[in-house]
Each structure stands twice: as structure tokens, then as C-alpha cells.
């Protein structure tokens, strides 16, 4: 775009400085954003009186303003007084800070399905193509393959997908195979052609957002093929710009930083600031206080201490480890609900490599997804894959045939549904920390949520051969209230002392939720009638069903009436409830920041014209 030699603007005071903004199209999608702002500074020339001719004064290097300042509403040339532009930037930065907080809160309600791109799905749709994980070579999984199997992921109730690093990788072999995993970056400005094209990645992002799902991308920041120090002062601006452009160009909603434990904490902050997104970082550390310290630099880290406790409890029989890990996480971490909860990953042995017991696997999945934090579920858990150490745990999922009737696939869908129901009926559910009710060598009982909208979970480490056992759980809720056990769809009534008597069979986990809060959950044949304490029926109602009623019909499964349409809310935890962040199409939750910046720009333009 040719720069004008002279621009005449009326009523500019002598020597007043203005800033000209030029919207520029991008030449390289990996190098820059779709639109960039060229910024040049000019000062008025006193020789031309009141109608000043602007003379070149200081030409800045081309730089992009905050993401929210880049907008297609800008005309080809916008002239803004220097002081006013500074105010705009300050407002944009304030909007950015608020947006970061919104991002973290928005992600807390999500559950993430971790995709190992090379081993999830092929473009040709094959379910028989051979792939021996021990060979540690590329098996041709692609982004297009992921798009074609989003129904499979969403069918389990997941609303976010994390994919392997997307940048171009080394083609040469390592001592343990080739870079099929995506962690051998060669050129950060190009995509990994083995995973697909620029259009494929754009299509994947769009396909996820069209479903209301989020996209998280794994990134590598501390190692490259050139052995360069990516954290030094010379490289940092380049890395920040790359992250800004990568997230903007592909509408990425969140990032995972590989090997964050080996990245300087100050540098991690810079990555978070550059992305303006929710960021989690891999910190493989057994001490709770250590992982909690990282929350001063990044919003989230995977909860490794809790993972180790899960293995101890269900793999080695030490249920006390589970209770202790929950307590220390709550006590030591700034925000336990933002941590990632996981029980398998592509860098760790799968749980079935310790035990093939299906009941234990269900306990592990239930605890992982119903604890404090954001569930991070590794592909193949739903098919009970049992690979041990890397690379054995990199199995090709297509060889399972994407079986949607597999026991753990259906169980995972149930657990996701009840978690989403608990969040839907109580805005404060995620902020209520998990509490241990009881534990012995075989059993642990937890509660999460405020009174009358809380969930009770009972876990066992005895496995499929466990004998029948009856258990009395005290202080469960109001007397004579009814709880539904969602995995068996059985109802249990609280006795006059507030205790619940439950039946433990075959070492299976038990998940209890108030029966009058099940409306609209899609579980146990419960209809779309209102949850108790609400003023409207559940989601998915037909228009003709929205008429006012004094009393809803009896649910034959309960044998009781679930509540009145206009009954008073029973939530007493807080008088004022926090509004849940609404997901936008890109999943960024940056609407507040965008509004602040757009208002500032509009105000600047109108003020200048007047």
C-alpha cells in the first residue's frame, strides 16, 4: 500500500502529533494476522497555518495493536491524535485483563478430550490401517480425520478438544522414532504437512466452534531444531508475535505449553499475555505447593499430585492418598478449580496397564471428571486401551472402530452429563471445593456443591470381584429428600436423620444427585420438567409446552412431584449469584475487552470529527 506524501487536515494545532493507522492485508497466514495495522506518527507543520500539512516526523516499525483494536470496521486510513491513541491502548489493555479472567472461568465448565493427532483418525476413514505404536513412526492421522469424527467425541459429552502441536516438524528419525507426536518443531512459521493443510486446520476450528466446542492447541516453546534460546531478549518478541498470530489466524481458544516446568516463569507470563487466552502448562511435579506456585504465572497446570494419588488409590489400594491430595490442592493452590484433572496422557502409562479391571477404570474416570478442576481426558480411555510407557500408549484409535457402545464410552457420557447438569442448576457449583465425607482402606466418599443441589460420589478400590456391601452415609441432605444414583437410575430416600443407605456392588462407583434437580439432564429417562427451585422448564422444550402451569405432572419414575413451576429457588449459599460467562463463537470470552476497545475507538473518531 503506497503511503501518501501529504495529508491536509483542518484545525490541527501547530506541532500537534497525530497517528495514522493503515489497515494492511496479511501476506503469510503464519507470519501475521489477516489484518495488520501500519502505524505512522506525524506532526503538524506551523508554516501552513490553521490548515496544517502533515510532515513525516517519526516512522515506527509496523506493529499490531492489541487484538481487539484490529477490526474490519476501521476505514483504510484513520487519523487519531497521539494522546487519544494512548488512551485507546490503555482501555484495550484493561479489556484484555478482564478477558483473561473471563477465559479462565469459561474453561472451568468445559471438559477436554485430548487428541493425539497422528493416532486419532485418518483422512481416508480407515479402521484397519496398521499402526504399531512401538514402531514410533507416523501412522497418518490428520486434522481432516478429526473433523470427520467429531460426533464420536461430542457423543461422550466433551465440549473442548486439545490437539497435538501444529507446526512443521523434523522429518528425520530420533533414537525413539520419528516426530509423529508433533514435539520436534523445525519451522514455527509453517504447519505440519503430515497433519494437513492451512485449510484443514481452519476447517477444524470452524467445525468445533459450529458445535459450540473449543479448540486448544499444544505448543512447544523451549526447544527447536536450531538449538536457539527461545527465551532470550532477542527471540522473545518473535515468539510472542508467533503466538499472537497463530491463535488469531486459527481462532484458537486455549493453549497448553509443553514442558512448562522447564520454562522460566517470567517467560510463561509473556506467553499468556501474548495469547490473551486461557493457558495451561505441563508441570510434572509431585509436590502440590510447587504446581500451585505456577498459578502465579499461568492460569492452570495439570494436577500431577492428584494424578499420583489416583494411581495410589485405585492401583495400589491407598484411598487415604486421594483424600490427602484433595485437601492439599484446596489448601495450597490459588484456584484449584482451574487446574487440569487427568488420569491418563500421552506421556504416561495408561491406567489399564496397571489393572485391566473395568470397575476400577470406571472409578478412575468418575473421580477424574467430578473432582475440582477441568477434566482432561486422553483419547482411548473410553475404549479401555492399555498401553504402558511411551510409545506403547500411542495406540491408533481407529483400530477400535470408534465403538460407541463400549462400556467406558457410555459411562463417560453419563459422567459428563451429570457434571454439566450440576453446573447448569447451580452457578456456584464449580466454586464449591470437593469435600471428603469419609474414607477407609476400601472406600472414599466426597461431596461437591451447595445444599440440595450437591453431588455425592462414592468410590471403591475393590474391583469387579468386590462383595456386596451396604453403606450408611450421614449428613447427606434434608430428611426424606430423594437422590438419584445416575449410573443405575435407582432412587434413594434420605432417612429422618439425614442419612443415606446405599448398596455397593462389584466395586462400581456411585454418583448421587438430587432427584428434583435432574430435569433436563437427559439421564435416567427424566423428562424436561423444571428442576425444583427454577422458574422455567429444562432445555429442549417445545413451544407448545411453555404455557404457565401451577403444578407439573408426576414423574412415574420418582412417584412424586418434582416441584412447582413458580417455586422459590432453594439455593441459599449466596444472595447474589454470579452470571455464567457465555461462550462466543470463537470461545475467547473477550466480548468485554472488545466492547471497551470498540467504544474507545468510536469515541476517538467522533471526538476528532467534532
What residues contact residue 274 under an 8 Å CB cut-off, 6+ apart? 239, 240, 241, 243, 244
Give residue 580's pLDDT band: very low, low, confident or very high (50, 70, 90): very low
Give residue 194's pLDDT band: very low, low, confident or very high (50, 70, 90): very high
Q: What is the pLDDT of residue 228?
A: 54
pLDDT at 178 exceeding the cut of 50: yes
DSSP, collapsed to helix, strand or coil, labels residue 586 as coil
Helices (H), 8-81: none
Q: Structural domains in the chain? A: 8-100 (no CATH), 106-282+343-425 (3.20.20.80), 435-545 (2.60.40.1180)
The label of the residue with cell 504446581 reads 291
What residues contact residue 268 under an 8 Å CB cut-off, 6+ apart? 257, 260, 279, 281, 294, 297, 298
DSSP, collapsed to helix, strand or coil, labels residue 257 as strand
Average pLDDT over residues 580-592: 44
Rounded Cα gap, residues 510 and 507, in angstroms: 9
Vertex 337 angle, CA 331 and 339, to 5°: 90
Average pLDDT over residues 564-589: 39
Q: What is the pLDDT of residue 542?
A: 34
Find the largest Cα–Cα distance for the chain.
Answer: 97
CA 226 to chain centre: 32
pLDDT at 43 exceeding the cut of 80: no
67-113 pLDDT, tens digit per residue, is 333 333 334 344 455 555 566 555 555 554 444 445 888 999 999 99
Instruction: Please report, for residues 262, 485, 514, 529, 573, the alpha-carbon distance to residue 480 in angstroms, rounded to integers and kept in the order given.
Output: 54, 16, 11, 21, 21
Give residue 230's pLDDT band: very low, low, confident or very high (50, 70, 90): low
| Segment of 29-43, 502-516, 569-583 carrying the highest mean pLDDT | 502-516
pLDDT at 191 exceeding the cut of 60: yes
Average pLDDT over residues 114-143: 97
Region of poorest pLDDT, from 198-207, 221-230, 538-547: 538-547
What is the DSSP-derived secondary structure letter of residue 61? P
**% of the chain at pLDDT higher than 90:** 58
CB 174 within 8 A of CB 430: no
Rounded Cα gap, residues 13 and 17, in angstroms: 9
DSSP, collapsed to helix, strand or coil, labels residue 239 as helix
Closest CA to 508 of 488, 528, 533: 488
Q: What is the pLDDT of residue 104?
A: 84
Region of poorest pLDDT, from 185-194, 355-364, 388-397: 185-194
Closest CA to 341 of 316, 365, 363, 359: 365
What residues contact residue 18 under an 8 Å CB cut-off, 6+ apart? 9, 12, 41, 42, 43, 44, 54, 79, 80, 81, 82
Count of beta carbons in the 10 Å neighbourhood of residue 155: 17
The label of the residue with cell 502440590 reads 288
CB 37 within 8 A of CB 66: no
**% of the chain at pLDDT higher than 70:** 67
Closest CA to 368 of 450, 298, 303: 303
Q: What is the pLDDT of residue 72?
A: 35
Q: What is the pLDDT of residue 198?
A: 97
pLDDT at 513 exceeding the cut of 80: yes
Q: What is the pLDDT of residue 65?
A: 33
Average pLDDT over residues 526-554: 44
CB 39 within 8 A of CB 20: yes
Rounded Cα gap, residues 610 and 608, in angstroms: 5
CB 452 within 8 A of CB 429: no
pLDDT at 29 exceeding the cut of 80: no
Q: What is the pLDDT of residue 561?
A: 36
Rounded Cα gap, residues 209 and 213, in angstroms: 5
CA torsion angle 43 47 51 55 (round to 10)? -30
| Segment of 264-268, 449-453, 568-572 carrying the highest mean pLDDT | 449-453
Count of beta carbons in the 10 Å neighbourhood of residue 553: 10
Please list, residue by residue across 302-313, b when 16 or more beta carbons sit within 10 angstroms of its beta carbon and e when fewer do: bbbbbbebbbbb
232-255 pLDDT, tens digit per residue, is 566 678 888 999 999 999 999 999
Rounded Cα gap, residues 152 and 332, in angstroms: 37
Average pLDDT over residues 387-416: 98
Mean pLDDT of the chain, nearest integer? 78
Using CB atoms within 10 A of its CB, is residue 5 exposed (0-12), middle (13-18) or buried (19+)? Answer: exposed
Parallel, antiparallel or unpaired: strands 374-378 and 112-114: parallel
Rounded Cα gap, residues 378 and 359, in angstroms: 18
What residues contact residue 51 under an 8 Å CB cut-off, 6+ apart? 8, 9, 10, 11
- Where does 396-454 show beta strands of DSSP type E? 435-439, 443-448
554-567 pLDDT, tens digit per residue, is 333 333 333 333 33
Helices (H), 426-551: none
Rounded Cα gap, residues 579 and 188, in angstroms: 39
Secondary structure string (H, E, C) spanning 440-471:
CCCEEEEEECCCCCCEEEEEECCCCCCCCEEE
Closest CA to 340 of 293, 379, 299, 381: 299
pLDDT at 500 exceeding the cut of 70: yes
Pick the residue with more confidence: 176 or 51?
176
DSSP, collapsed to helix, strand or coil, labels residue 407 as helix
Region of poorest pLDDT, from 301-315, 331-345, 538-552: 538-552
Count of beta carbons in the 10 Å neighbourhood of residue 588: 27
Rounded Cα gap, residues 533 and 424, in angstroms: 13
Q: What is the pLDDT of residue 394?
A: 97
pLDDT at 180 exceeding the cut of 50: yes
pLDDT at 609 exceeding the cut of 80: no
| Segment of 302-311, 541-550, 590-599 carrying the highest mean pLDDT | 302-311
Closest CA to 376 of 114, 167, 25, 178: 114
CA 367 to chain centre: 18
pLDDT at 550 exceeding the cut of 70: no
Q: How many helices (H) and strands (E) does the chain have?
A: 13, 22
Q: What is the pLDDT of residue 347?
A: 94
Amino acid at each position: 500500500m503506497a503511503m501518501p506524501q501529504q495529508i491536509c487536515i483542518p484545525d490541527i494545532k501547530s506541532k500537534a502529533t497525530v497517528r495514522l493507522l493503515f489497515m494492511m492485508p496479511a501476506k503469510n497466514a503464519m507470519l501475521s494476522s489477516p489484518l495488520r495495522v501500519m502505524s505512522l506518527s506525524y506532526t503538524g507543520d506551523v508554516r501552513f497555518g490553521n490548515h496544517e500539512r502533515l510532515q513525516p516526523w517519526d516512522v515506527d516499525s509496523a506493529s499490531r495493536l492489541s487484538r481487539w483494536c484490529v477490526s474490519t470496521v476501521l476505514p483504510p486510513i484513520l487519523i487519531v491524535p497521539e494522546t487519544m491513541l494512548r488512551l485507546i491502548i490503555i482501555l484495550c489493555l484493561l479489556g484484555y485483563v478482564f478477558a483473561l479472567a473471563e477465559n479462565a472461568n469459561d474453561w472451568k465448565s468445559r471438559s477436554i478430550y485430548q487428541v493425539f493427532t497422528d493416532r486419532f483418525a485418518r483422512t481416508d476413514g480407515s479402521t484397519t490401517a496398521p499402526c504399531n505404536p512401538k514402531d514410533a513412526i507416523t501412522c497418518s492421522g490428520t486434522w481432516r480425520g478429526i473433523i470427520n469424527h467429531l460426533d464420536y467425541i461430542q457423543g461422550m459429552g466433551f465440549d473442548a478438544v486439545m490437539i497435538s502441536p501444529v507446526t512443521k516438524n523434523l522429518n528425520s528419525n530420533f533414537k525413539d522414532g520419528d516426530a509423529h507426536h508433533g514435539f520436534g518443531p523445525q519451522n514455527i512459521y509453517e504447519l505440519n504437512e503430515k497433519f494437513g493443510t492451512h485449510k484443514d486446520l481452519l476447517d477444524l476450528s470452524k467445525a468445533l466452534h459450529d458445535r459450540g466446542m473449543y479448540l486448544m492447541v499444544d505448543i512447544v516453546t523451549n526447544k527447536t531444531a536450531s538449538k536457539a534460546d527461545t527465551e532470550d531478549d532477542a527471540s522473545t518478541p518473535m515468539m510472542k508475535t508467533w503466538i499472537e498470530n497463530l491463535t488469531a489466524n486459527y481462532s484458537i481458544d486455549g493453549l497448553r505449553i509443553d514442558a512448562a516446568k522447564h520454562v522460566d516463569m517470567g517467560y510463561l507470563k509473556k506467553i499468556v499475555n501474548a495469547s490473551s487466552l486461557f493457558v495451561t502448562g505441563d508441570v510434572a511435579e509431585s509436590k502440590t505447593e510447587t504446581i500451585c506456585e505456577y498459578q502465579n504465572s499461568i492460569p492452570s497446570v495439570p494436577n500431577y499430585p492428584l494424578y499420583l494419588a489416583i494411581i495410589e488409590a485405585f492401583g495400589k489400594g491407598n484411598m487415604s492418598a486421594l483424600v490427602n491430595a484433595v485437601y492439599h490442592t484446596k489448601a495450597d493452590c490459588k484456584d484449584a478449580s482451574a487446574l487440569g484433572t487427568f488420569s491418563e496422557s500421552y506421556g504416561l502409562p495408561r491406567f489399564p496397564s496397571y489393572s485391566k479391571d473395568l470397575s476400577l477404570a470406571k472409578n478412575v474416570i468418575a473421580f477424574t471428571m467430578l473432582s475440582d478442576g477441568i477434566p482432561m481426558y486422553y483419547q482411548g480411555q473410553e475404549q479401555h486401551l492399555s498401553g504402558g510407557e511411551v510409545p506403547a500408549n500411542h495406540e491408533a484409535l481407529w483400530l477400535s472402530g470408534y465403538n460407541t457402545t463400549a462400556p467406558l464410552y457410555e459411562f463417560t457420557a453419563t459422567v459428563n452429563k451429570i457434571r454439566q447438569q450440576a453446573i447448569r442448576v447451580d452457578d456456584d457449583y464449580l466454586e464449591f471445593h470437593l469435600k471428603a465425607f469419609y474414607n477407609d482402606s476400601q472406600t472414599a466418599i466426597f461431596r461437591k456443591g451447595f445444599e440440595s443441589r450437591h453431588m455425592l460420589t462414592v468410590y471403591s478400590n475393590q474391583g469387579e470381584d468386590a462383595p456386596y456391601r451396604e453403606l450408611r452415609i450421614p449428613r447427606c441432605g434434608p430428611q426424606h429428600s430423594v437422590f438419584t444414583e445416575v449410573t443405575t437410575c435407582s432412587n434413594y430416600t434420605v432417612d429422618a436423620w439425614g442419612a443415606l443407605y446405599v448398596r455397593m456392588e462389584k466395586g462400581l462407583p456411585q454418583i448421587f444427585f438430587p432427584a428434583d434437580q435432574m430435569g433436563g439432564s437427559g439421564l435416567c429417562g427424566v423428562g424436561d420438567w423444571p428442576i425444583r427451585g427454577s422458574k422455567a422448564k429444562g432445555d429442549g422444550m417445545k413451544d407448545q409446552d411453555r404455557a404457565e402451569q401451577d403444578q407439573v405432572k408426576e414423574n412415574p419414575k420418582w412417584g412424586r412431584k418434582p416441584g412447582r413451576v413458580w417455586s422459590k429457588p432453594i439455593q441459599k449459599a449466596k444472595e447474589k449469584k454470579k452470571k455464567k460467562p457465555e461462550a462466543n463463537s470463537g470461545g475467547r470470552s473477550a466480548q468485554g475487552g472488545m466492547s471497551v476497545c470498540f467504544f474507545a475507538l468510536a469515541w476517538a473518531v467522533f471526538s476528532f470529527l467534532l
